[in-house]
Amino acid sequence: MPWWIYVYVVLFGLVIGSFLNVCIHRIPQGQSIVRPRSRCPYCNHLIRAWENIPLVSYALLRGRCSQCHARISWVYPAVEALTAGVFYLLFRKYEFGAAFWLNALFFSLLIALVFIDLFHRILPDVLTKGGTLVGFLLVPLQSPEFFTKPATTWIGDMIAARYLDSLLGIALGGGLLWVVAKLYFMIKKIEGMGLGDVKMMMTIGAFLGWRFAWLTIFLGSLVGAFVGIAFIYLSGRDRLYELPFGTFLGVAAIAATLWGAPLIHWYFSLL
Ligand SMILES: [Zn+2]
């Protein structure tokens, strides 16, 4: 691939990241993600086009509103840079295969969920239930051969196998977290893991199938345990139920999509 195609992929990621910022701030409030145009939350100043360029505007404005000079959250450039970064990695893996477009959609969904859970401790149904449905319907596109190999007899078998894998992913991912949530509630009498986490895991299973759903739960728990131990150590409080588990699951699912096969291979080489 010529280098300038990667520049376009990064720019595409920045634009999608900018849209995800709108989703992250408006979906928890139940507002439309299309209208009205964005305003400064402090002085109500209408954000002009040149103030809305991903990363560039934040740098030009030095992270402040052009009117009232209130600080603009670091989340905006972080989401834009993160989206561009994971799109770049996805493109290196799949190039123009159908799997690039499908997983770019999947990552967009995950990044919205990661940040909404981090700041609001909720995982909106419109993203988790909607994501499960869309992931299941489009899952045949995960096959790298899609669109490139001539569609002869193999395609029917491949589609059936992908749908089965996706269903198993939904059942295993959602089911496992549901059991853990119930057990946690029985033992601790605290709602440690909500149904939102269960539904988010169903979405991940729908897109990735049962093997990587399993890997996502494993990696997410690992990251959660490390962060949790650090949290207890630094804060001196055992309040693990306050941690955003959906955030860890989202990060783990991105890692599983990009490096799932080598990660599983490496894990079994240790045994
Ligand atoms: Zn302002």
Q: How far is the CA of 42 from the centre of ligand 1 (A)?
A: 5
Alpha-carbon span 61 to 59, nearest angstrom: 6
Distance CA 6, CA 157 (A): 34
Q: Is the pLDDT of residue 135 over 70?
A: yes
* Confidence bin at 149 (pLDDT 50/70/90): low
Tokens coding 171:
């059942």
pLDDT at 158 over 90: no
Name the 3-class secondary structure at 165.
helix
Provide the pLDDT confidence category of residue 68 given band limits of 50, 70 and 90: very high
CA of 46 to the centre of ligand 1 (A): 9
Centroid of ligand 1 to alpha carbon of 25 (angstroms): 16
Choice among 133-137, 169-173, 266-270 with the minimum mean pLDDT: 266-270
**Among the ranges given (37-41, 218-222, 232-236, 258-262), the one the predictor scored with the smallest mean pLDDT:** 232-236
- Please give the pLDDT value at position 234: 83
The whole-model pTM stands at 0.92
pLDDT value at residue 19: 94
For residue 157, what pLDDT is reported?
81
Lowest mean pLDDT among 14-18, 82-86, 159-163, 241-245: 241-245
Average pLDDT, the chain: 90
24-47 burial: b if 16+ Cβ within 10 Å, else e: bbebbeeeeeeeeeeebeeeebee
Among 38-47, 147-156, 189-198, which stretch is predicted with the lowest mean pLDDT? 147-156
Q: Which backbone phi and psi does 86 adopt, to 5 degrees? A: -75, -30
Q: Compute the average pLDDT of residues 245-255.
A: 96
Q: Helices 245-270 and 75-94 sit at what angle, rounded to 10 degrees? A: 30
State residue 130's pLDDT score.
96
> How sure is the predictor about 85, in pLDDT bands with cuts at 50, 70 and 90?
very high
Query: What's the confidence (pLDDT) of residue 236?
Result: 74
- The share of the chain scoring above pLDDT 70, in percent, equals 93
SS3 content of the chain, % helix, strand, coil (to 5): 75, 0, 25
User: What is the Rg, in whole angstroms, of the alpha carbon atoms belonging to the chain?
Assistant: 20
Distance of CA 31 from the midpoint of ligand 1 (Å): 20
Tell me how far the alpha carbon of residue 90 lies from the centroid of ligand 1, in angstroms.
Answer: 36
Task: Say yes or no to pLDDT of 190 above 70.
Answer: no
Q: What pLDDT was estimated at residue 188?
A: 72
Q: Are 72 and 63 in contact (CB under 8 A)?
A: yes
Residue 195: is it exposed, middle or buried by C-beta count within 10 angstroms (0-12/13-18/19+)? middle
pLDDT for 37 equals 87
39 C-alpha to center of ligand 1: Å? 8
**Domain spans in the chain, listed from the N-terminal domain onward:** 1-95, 123-271
Torsion of CA 105, 108, 110, 114, to 10 degrees: 180
Q: How far is the CA of 52 from the centre of ligand 1 (A)?
A: 14
Tell me what pLDDT residue 153 has: 63
Q: How far is the CA of 73 from the centre of ligand 1 (A)?
A: 12
Q: What percent of the chain lies above the pLDDT cut of 90?
A: 63
**Looking at the predicted structure, is the pLDDT value of residue 232 above 70?**
yes
pLDDT value, residue 93: 93
